[in-house]
Amino acid sequence: MRRLLLTALFLWSSLVSAERLTIDRIFGDPDLAGPSPRALKIAPDGRHVAFLRGRADDQNQLDLWLYDVAGGKAQRIVDSTSIGERRELSDAEKARRERERIAQLKGIVAYRWSPDGKRLLFTLDERLWLCDPAAPREKQLRALTPKGLDVIDAKVSPRGGFVSFVSAQNLYAIDLADDRTTQLTRDGGGAIHNGEAEFVAQEEMDRSTGYWWAPDDSAIAFERYDESNVDEVERSEVYADHTATLRQRYPAAGRANVTVKLGIVAPAGGEPRWIDLGDNADIYLARVNWLPDAKRLAFQRESRDQRRLDLVVADVKAKTSLTIDVCAGLCPPNSTDSANEKVVLAETSATWINLNDDLRFLRNEDAFVWASERDGYKHLYVIGFDGAVKRALTKGDYDIDKLLALDEKNGLVYFAANRDDALQSQIYVVHLDGRDAEKPQRISAGEGWHDAVFGDDARVWIDTFSNPTAPPQVSLRKADGSLVAWIERNELKPGHPFWPYRDSLVAPEFGVLKSEDGQDLHYRFYKPLGFEEGKKYPVFMTYYGGPGSQYVKKNWGNYFEQFMAEHGYVVFALDNRGSPRRGRTFSDAIFKQLGKPEIADQLAGVAWLKSQRYVDASRIGIFGWSYGGFQTLMLLAKAGHEFAAGVAVAPVTDWTLYDTHYTERYLDTPQHNAGGYDKSGVLHWLDGIESDKLLLVHGMADDNVLFANSTKLMAALQNKGTRFRLMTYPGAKHGLSTPALKKHVYHLIADYFDEKLKPTPAAQP
């Protein structure tokens, strides 16, 4: 008994003495994850690994680092504070960073290797620089563009002869032999953009570039888009000291998109040649790829309703096009679109087609590798130029995440997938001949989440691995997964930024519930720190819930969930139907009505919580951001009696206000599905929202989920006499991305739940 008592006292004293996370520390410096490299890339010659790393005093100020594989050491090669001017970014660059979810980053945010692996290209304050790490220090950096010239999307050509970039909506190329800069397009300006990806391509199609080099440096394919027909939305961006009235071209659901052209131009200049994109101008230019011979150009053309995807191969020399519409074999072979295009198959879907970057053209076979969800899960196939499926490379009831590398010489294909666990990402290899399609070999070690980057020849790869109790570790691996070297071991030991909080870390538990149609719903939950049997606790329930982003994963970094668990809450998160990486039956449940199966699944989670003896069912609070904010509102509207409070940050309230590509993918157009839009909108269910249960938060310069979504909700609630709390952020975009705003909003959220869910309001640390 005495030993048990001493053990209990020891454990209690450990909990008391351990430091607990605070919101200020979560968003403070240095990064709690440790010195984790980002944007890792293996040099083409395999001798070095480059990466970006934040500074100890400012995790968002990124410098360029180089790891020497032979020497086993990393060193900073460019200090971003030593050459940066810290000038105001252009509106185009701010918008690009917001689209790529890196708006909070400063310094060097992107770079590229030269093909010989000897130089690195990067922009800093939108000025273009070339770095030669092997040169004497005074000659390592070379400015390629003058001060004051705004530069975006800089690239080194495949053979290293040129550097290209976009400035003021036109495309440029620099000949590195003589530093001569050539303006390749001249009509950019106003509604015309050359070499850029349009808004929905960046925001919804995962395509951030608008131009593509030929493999032999002979030409550049580029997008030209005209947004003249896109509605101008007049909106106000409210800042601390002024209000700016802007007219933004925003393609809302059911309205006009940009008009797209695809051109080819030589890097020395001249008149562009235009590729025939088909008779229907109301399409999406989804992807563009050159074939290895540099004589043929491929582009993926997606229909406006996103239920058909055409892969078109244009013979640049012959000026003809062959359309290979790869799909589930639902269209008759050898049908003809036009004199120059032959439709072999059509990739079609009864709901929508998910785009990907998994196309690879083979050099030794008249075929290509293609990813398709034709059997209900995303898998890899080899398809011939006659449109016939030659063989499947992967099979099974799981989704591949990404094709990582193709080693045609050794006949191997590497990919990431959730084959072993829906909450993990592991790395696998299969043979190109399809012999082991049902039994891929796993080459990643460690249960959790692996992000892999392969070298060009697939001989080595970088593994960034984490799980809920281990911060990201970065290693260099051979093709078989064996360790070459640690780039960043990042062990959780004294000196690590998270070490003071290690003893307060609450490890999450994972489980599975069933949806109403019998599908698995994965959840993550935490018991409160110092959990006591017989005591009832309030619940902090959080989610994203929307298509395209999995929330419940076995990875590191859910700090705010940790914070709430350390401060007396049961924390619960569940991925509802509509979430990705679970096959098409799971995702397609939301088609043509959003906020129906998602809400049913979240309420299944609530029912499970209420069945736990330690949960106080009268004190359940819910929180979500963006699509998660939409779900908070729908939960309060449809089942408000289940919740004591809810927080919605930057929510969509009316889907007619959101963009074409995202919204129409799931709801079709308002013209064809008016009832679905009505029932998917929050205002339809407004009578269910009770007074004093909602905290509404929105950035007043949000150009993604427009602030009008919240003003529309405010007016409707006020007209009904429904009381709610409101916090708006002048000048802030969708992500409230600065550390100061992050600290403010999360203090606000934590304080709100403490007030609403705890019997005695607790002081916020």
The answer to whether residues 111 and 78 touch, using CB atoms and an 8 Å cutoff, is no
* Distance of alpha carbon 445 from alpha carbon 461, whole angstroms: 13
Is 751 noted as a catalytic residue in this protein? no
Catalytic annotation, pick one of 626, 680, 710, 737: 626
* Distance of alpha carbon 411 from alpha carbon 434, whole angstroms: 10
DSSP secondary structure string for all residues of 401-437: EEEEEEETTTTEEEEEE-SS-TT-BEEEEEETTSTTT
The answer to whether residues 215 and 228 touch, using CB atoms and an 8 Å cutoff, is no
How big is the CA angle at 485 (ends 479 and 490), to the nearest 5 degrees?
120
Is-cis flag, bond preceding 44, omega within 30? Answer: no
Element (H, E) at 599: helix 597-610
* Phi then psi dihedrals of residue 54, to 5 deg: -75, 165
736: left (phi over 0), alpha (psi -120 to 50) or beta: left
**Residue type at 403 in one-letter notation:** L
* Phi then psi dihedrals of residue 195, to 5 deg: 75, 10
* Distance of alpha carbon 446 from alpha carbon 390, whole angstroms: 34
Catalytic annotation, pick one of 31, 450, 734, 754: 734
The answer to whether residues 524 and 421 touch, using CB atoms and an 8 Å cutoff, is no
* Distance of alpha carbon 622 from alpha carbon 635, whole angstroms: 9
Placement of tokens 């049902």 in the chain: 438
Reading the block at residue 256, the tokens are 């006009």
Placement of tokens 């992500």 in the chain: 735
* Distance of alpha carbon 173 from alpha carbon 265, whole angstroms: 11
% helix, strand, coil for the chain, step of 5: 20, 35, 45
The answer to whether residues 230 and 249 touch, using CB atoms and an 8 Å cutoff, is yes
Is 228 noted as a catalytic residue in this protein? no
610 Cβ neighbours under 8 A, 6+ residues apart: 617
Question: Distance of alpha carbon 686 from its chain centroid, rounded?
Answer: 31
Catalytic annotation, pick one of 150, 401, 702, 703: 702
CA distances from 337 to 277, 310, 321, 343 (A): 11, 11, 11, 6
* Distance of alpha carbon 632 from alpha carbon 625, whole angstroms: 9
* Distance of alpha carbon 736 from alpha carbon 701, whole angstroms: 10
Is 702 noted as a catalytic residue in this protein? yes
Active site residues: 626, 702, 734
